[in-house]
Structure 1
Amino acid sequence: MDAATSPETSAAPDAAGKPAETPPPRRRRHYLRNTVLIVLFAVFAIWLILFITKGRFLKGPFESIASSSAGRSVKVGGDFQLYFAPLRIKFLAEQIDVKNPQWAGRASLLTAKKIEARIAPLSLLFGRKHAYTVELVDFDADFEWDKAHKRNTWTFGDGSGGEAFQMPRIDRADVKGTRIRYLDPRMPLLANLNVEPIVAKDTQIGQAVQLKGDGRFRTTPFRLTASLLSPDATASGGENKLTARAWAANGVIDVSGTLPSLTEYEGVPLKVRARGKDLSELLEVIDVAIPRTRRYDLRAQLVNEDQDYRFTDLTGTFGQSDLAGKFTIKNDERLRLDANLTTRRLDIIDAAPFIGYNPDIVASKGAVAAASATGNAGERVLPDAELPVAMMQRFDAGLDWKIAVVRSRNVPVSNISLKLALERGRLALSPLTFTMARGDVASDFIFNTRQRPSAISYDIRLKSTPMGRLLAGYGVADSGTTGTIHGRIKLDGRGDTIHDSLASSSGRIAFVMPQGTLWTQNAQLAELDLGTFVYKMFQGKLKKPIEINCGLLAFTVRNGIAATDPILIDTSKNVITGNGGFSFGTEAVDLAFRGDGKKFSLFSGQSPVGIGGHFASPKLNVISPQLVGRAGIGLGLAAVASPVAGLLAFVDVGDAKSAACGPVLAGARATAQRTTKGKPRDDVGKGRVKKID
């Protein structure tokens, strides 16, 4: 093969039929190298021109392109620079004015005397925008959503949608006279913030940005201050220390932590402390309803991720009680609060808000005054504070709360376990369990505000409990008392307050006393055995306990009126019965207890002992009208006959019929009660009572 036909020199013919020449490999490499050099030279030339001119000649194109892309006017009234220095983009604009869309409340999105920044070039194309340094002078920004929460002022383009605001990552900032306004009519939230630079005293810290402002969240005004300490060498592993304080809803909130950059806080653990007068006022700001509290002081660690705010390592106090645990606030389609809490010691006064009482009033003036403060007329104890129906329907919640001990003067309560579930206005406290005087109580409470008025259900179950411990604060001696009691309260009513729901309720209340003993100063008061009663009054205790065979204290409730059904207690010496009832509506009490002896006895009254008055101020009528009448008869007999004859009026012939304990221990109604001989009882009523005023 000769040189003319070799592969290195042969080529396809051209259009004229002549073979075209192909450049040798060396020449092709030269072309590629020269092309690269030309491109690099051109880039360098552009860079050099921009560097020398600072890109000032791009001011007009920048305004035109920015205005077209943003769909609004963008003007730079002063100096303008845009170039690489050397590999970071240098941007400078003086007297800049970026207009707002026409629907906004203010004319300009932002105005500034000066904006200067060093920007990472690739961040403009990929990922989150990153600025190494930013300097702002007399910067005013207006960030606003429309009423439908579909458009906002900072989303550029055709305005068909609004994206969530994402702060660029800023390593260091120098701000002078910066003002920011943020408005969201849907929440609603209005914030006016002023940012001013300060110089930190710590020589290891370069500059700090201090922020002050005020505003309104929903209907709650607030004010705040914050300092963000920016060190000189963030890129080499420095830290940005944040300290902030806000005042709102009679409380103070402190936030502190370390940020990876000046504006990067998501996923960063922050220390939070909140203290104030009433925690319910603070949570009400975000439409979360909890019972009222006394003064609180709580600390926790906060981490924000997207729409979730997680509070962990919670510790602190409210009133005289302690609190620990964790909780999460989620703000998706519906606001939701989930909490897992523990309390070592709960003061009984701090528990008052759970039934609608103001704990401060309970502590200073007592329960009756606290009940009156809820809207009750007169002296009542059932609270008339309305359920926060509207708020309960705006958020959901879940709570698991363990309480070790309750400080209580009269009734020892411990080991409380409360589970709460709130879903679209239906609140369930189920189960709520606790130990009371060595007895266990299990209960379920349902507050269904979806129905109007609210449908409220009460179900309280008391397991076998020693009466000595249960009633120790009311004169019953623990030593010598072996009697126990168990029972259940099951009521259903309608109303938006505890008082209204109970005033309309129907159901049954029943407490059973199996065989045992009871020792107390006034245990035989209903029997009215005068000799024993006088001895108890002066000696303070009985010689021996009362022996109880069985007992039942039961009421049938219809439309808020509770009637005895029955009250029947069988002791070794007497049979005690009760009649009457009480009203949840008026809180009036009208009960009469009668004790009949099983054996012949002198000085035995046989007359009812009445309990009247109201829940707040019950009255014990030891000397009943019947007894007064019998005393008159006795005095008359003594006058016309002899003193011995006068005693006949107080003679108990001992004809009391012993109770069959089967129906008693079963909690049966009055119609099912029998004597030990199987005959129906005619001394326990029919489970009905007239209206009690």
Structure 2
Amino acid sequence: MAEETAPAHPVRALGKPLAATISVVASLIGLIVLAWAILFVTKGRFLKGPFERIVSSQTERQVKVGGDFQLYFAPFNVKFLAEDISVTNPAWAKGRFFEARKVDSVISTWSLITGNRRINWLSLDGAHLDLAWDEKHRRNTWTLGNPDKKGEPLDLPLIRAARAAGTEIRYSDPAMALMAAIGLEPVEASQSKFSTAIRFEGRGLARGTRFTVSGGLLTPNATAGGGENKLELHIRGANTVADVTGTLPGATEIEGANLHVDVRGGNLADLFSVLGVAVPDTRSYRMRSALTKRGPEWRFTGMKGRFGASDLSGKFTIENRQPRLMITAALDTRVLDIVDAGPFIGYNPNRLAAQGAITTVNGAPRVLPDAPLRAEALKNFDARVDWHVRAVRAPGLPSISDITLGLALDDRLLTLSPLNFALSRGRISSDIVINARDPRVLTDYDIRLSPTPMGTLLAGFGVAEAGTSGTIKARAQLKGTGDTVHDSLSTANGRIAFIIPKGSLWTRNVQLSELDIGVFIQKMFEKKLKEPVQINCGLIAFTVRNGIGAADPILIDTAGNVVAGRGGFSFKNESLDLAIEADSKKFSLFSGQSPVGIGGWFAAPRINPISGELVARAGIGLGIGALVSPIGAIISFVDVGDAKAADCGPVLAGASAHRQRDTKGRPRDDVGKGTTAKSESGKQSKGERREQRKKFLGIF
């Protein structure tokens, strides 16, 4: 039997699918070439109607081309030309978004695929572009599609080369109170090469302040070739002149720009007011810095300059975010002039330089700053600022240096923490919170003085540093309402306390404590003590209610006397009304320990060591002398020396008057609360004067 052979497997025709694929690809290429040829020959003019319908539908705007229309590949990039073209604005905006007599452009095909939107060539004749936000800064004209869609940031395509003639760009933002119109000067080009720079100039209005802008792209041919373009920009307005120079990656490309800014003017506050940002007033200034843009941030780095007689360096960033701008800064000052520091607490620097801090209100001198907080502007921005000042130039005042300021603003809540500085070998530490979310503006002060040598702190007031070993520490905790320092303190409640531990005090001038008649005469004529006053402990404290500070207590225990005070002061009219009295611990034949009056105003205090009580004692003594004998006249000035030494525990703890004790634990009856008796006008009624005599003098 013949051997059977297995049937052969059918051989698959591999060439057939490959041939089919090649045929399909060839057909597609043929169609593309055909389409390209048709478009190239016809210039795509037949697409005018479909273009208007499709683009109008996609943008939800009416798009109209009144003249010639071309859309084709030349040879690989897209050629687009339209005459008498217009695009309407959304219904909420007036006018047209864009219109031009002629638009001629070459668009990168690859950029359309990748979404990079690069225009290699753009020519505009008689063009007008309207960029506008609505009143709530929610919608804008350049965000196409749904007219109620939230507005997107302006993102211009990259334009490599351009020609403009009779072209104007308008921008408006009612919420930012900003309007501007920029015109491009006619620029001619030949074979994608510019014959001159692209110049522009314009004008605008920013928060009621007019400004002008001019400049140009100085090397447009470099831009056309893909290189960097030199920019020159000059801005004038708000009493400010700013020059911006540097390079841009592209004619419409700011991201990553390498720019330099030189800005100068009479007041930095005028410049920032254009942004709706509140900063303290300054004297004339000039600042230079590098500038670049990264995403929503404008970064100013390497900043150096001066304001008034002070220097300033560092960096800061303005971030364009919603709902408020964000400003961050790290600043450094080598020497801050005291006049330039005034505006940070509410003084006008030019007035401060000309006449000092003192003004006159109703015939009385005032020293507390009264410049209002710009609470309305705080709605527009948040901030984080760190500022370090190495030294303060302040002739005649205690040495101030090493200021550290941390400022945080969060939706109108302003926090100054820390606000610390060195003061005459001591240190002030502060935390201040200003709440402008409340229309009344609430301020919380917490200011602390670390133990500081009295000799250096009070050197300008006649205290000799040699021979003075005493120190002072203090704390003020106050809460008040008002948009100025004066107003917030005029309504404040809280406590102020100065604590003096054991030490010595030596003065070059007339001493106001221990006023024995013989010692007083000695000090008045010799003007220098032979020995320092030995202080056991001391407390000068005030309880403040509704802007009125009452002594609570004033108590200083020295080796020979107990000094006590009553009365107070007023933040409302800045008046002083105090009586200080020294009671001897030892027998004194000639005693003048009547109250020493301290009156007047914060800005002009008056000291009266010959008080009404001393005059009364002298009168009584003379009367007794005339009626009885000369010996009787001496009786009025005898001090039996029964002053009770103070328990220093409550004194050093800063305790209030009712907690003060003598060394035997008994409550003190020589300290108590007082109040200024002056009214808002600074005048006293008869009843007030009578009550004041009862409180302060306590004659016999």
Settle same-fold status: TM greater than 0.5. yes
The match for 1:98 is: 87
2: CA distance between counterparts of 1:102 and 1:547?
84
Residue 254 to residue 640, structure 1, CA distance change in 2 (3 Å): same
Alignment of 1:169-568 (within 5 A): 169-197=158-186, 207-234=196-223, 236=225, 238-330=227-319, 331-369=321-359, 378-409=364-395, 410-522=397-509, 524-568=511-555
Residue 401 to residue 151, structure 1, CA distance change in 2 (3 Å): closer
CA apart distance, 1:496: 3.2
The match for 1:14 is: none
* SS of structure 2 residue aligned to 1:258: strand
2: CA distance between counterparts of 1:103 and 1:575?
79
CA apart distance, 1:470: 0.5
Contact 2:249 2:256 in 1 (8 A): no
Residue 621 to residue 151, structure 1, CA distance change in 2 (3 Å): closer
1: CA distance between counterparts of 2:283 and 2:28?
74
Residue 535 to residue 207, structure 1, CA distance change in 2 (3 Å): farther
Contact 1:307 1:332 in 2 (8 A): no
The match for 2:694 is: none
Q: Aligned letter for 2:223?
A: T
CA apart distance, 1:471: 1.0
Contact 2:71 2:79 in 1 (8 A): yes
CA apart distance, 1:190: 1.8
Q: Aligned letter for 2:424?
A: A
1: CA distance between counterparts of 2:60 and 2:605?
77
CA apart distance, 1:189: 2.8
CA apart distance, 1:590: 0.7
Q: C-alpha offsets along residues 172-226 of structure 1, whole Å, 9 cap, x if unaligned?
A: 22212211112233434322111115799xxx99532222112223444332123
TM-score (norm 2): 0.85
CA apart distance, 1:437: 0.7
2: CA distance between counterparts of 1:51 and 1:333?
49
| Percent of aligned positions that are identical | 52
Contact 2:318 2:325 in 1 (8 A): yes
2: CA distance between counterparts of 1:230 and 1:486?
65
TM-score (norm 1): 0.86
The gaps in structure 2 that reach 5 residues or longer are 1-7, 680-700
Residue 524 to residue 65, structure 1, CA distance change in 2 (3 Å): closer
Contact 2:509 2:523 in 1 (8 A): yes
2: CA distance between counterparts of 1:209 and 1:648?
99
The match for 1:666 is: 653
Q: Tell whether 2:113 aligns with 1:125.
A: yes
Contact 2:223 2:251 in 1 (8 A): no
Contact 2:576 2:676 in 1 (8 A): no
Contact 2:387 2:404 in 1 (8 A): yes
2: CA distance between counterparts of 1:343 and 1:147?
40
Residue 147 to residue 490, structure 1, CA distance change in 2 (3 Å): closer
The match for 1:15 is: none
1: CA distance between counterparts of 2:555 and 2:605?
21
Alignment of 1:99-178 (within 5 A): 99-106=88-95, 108-147=96-135, 149=137, 151-157=139-145, 159-161=147-149, 162-178=151-167
Which sits farther off after the overlay, 464-473 or 64-73?
A: 64-73
CA apart distance, 1:404: 1.4
Contact 1:521 1:537 in 2 (8 A): no
Which sits farther off after the overlay, 208-217 or 379-388?
A: 379-388
CA apart distance, 1:589: 0.9
The match for 1:13 is: none
Q: C-alpha offsets along residues 565-611 of structure 1, whole Å, 9 cap, x if unaligned?
A: 22122222332221111111222111111223334446542222111
Residue 247 to residue 573, structure 1, CA distance change in 2 (3 Å): same
Contact 1:456 1:494 in 2 (8 A): yes
CA apart distance, 1:53: 5.4
CA apart distance, 1:462: 1.2
Aligned residue pairs, count? 667
1: CA distance between counterparts of 2:316 and 2:127?
38
Which sits farther off after the overlay, 86-95 or 154-163?
A: 154-163
2: CA distance between counterparts of 1:563 and 1:577?
13
Q: Aligned letter for 2:314?
A: G
* SS of structure 2 residue aligned to 1:525: coil
Q: Aligned letter for 1:461?
A: R
Contact 2:227 2:250 in 1 (8 A): no
The match for 2:697 is: none
Q: Tell whether 2:572 aligns with 1:585.
A: yes
* SS of structure 2 residue aligned to 1:234: helix
Return the match for 1:88 from 77, 98, 106: 77
* Aligned CA-pair RMSD: 3.4
Q: Aligned letter for 2:119?
A: A
CA apart distance, 1:303: 3.0
Q: Aligned letter for 1:368?
A: I
Q: Aligned letter for 2:604?
A: S
Residue 624 to residue 395, structure 1, CA distance change in 2 (3 Å): same
* SS of structure 2 residue aligned to 1:125: helix
* SS of structure 1 residue aligned to 2:340: coil
Q: Aligned letter for 2:553?
A: P
Residue 114 to residue 671, structure 1, CA distance change in 2 (3 Å): same
Return the match for 1:571 from 531, 551, 558: 558
Contact 2:511 2:523 in 1 (8 A): no
CA apart distance, 1:418: 1.9
Contact 1:454 1:496 in 2 (8 A): yes
Which sits farther off after the overlay, 161-170 or 351-360?
A: 161-170
The match for 1:18 is: none
Residue 154 to residue 663, structure 1, CA distance change in 2 (3 Å): closer
Contact 1:197 1:208 in 2 (8 A): no
Q: Aligned letter for 1:547?
A: Q
1: CA distance between counterparts of 2:366 and 2:669?
35
* SS of structure 2 residue aligned to 1:547: strand
Q: C-alpha offsets along residues 412-452 of structure 1, whole Å, 9 cap, x if unaligned?
A: 11122222222223222223222111112222212223345
2: CA distance between counterparts of 1:6 and 1:653?
140
Q: C-alpha offsets along residues 524-570 of structure 1, whole Å, 9 cap, x if unaligned?
A: 22333444444444444333322222222112222222121221222
CA apart distance, 1:167: 1.1
1: CA distance between counterparts of 2:199 and 2:141?
25
Contact 2:336 2:393 in 1 (8 A): yes
CA apart distance, 1:662: 2.7
1: CA distance between counterparts of 2:146 and 2:420?
59
Contact 1:206 1:230 in 2 (8 A): no
Contact 1:251 1:275 in 2 (8 A): yes
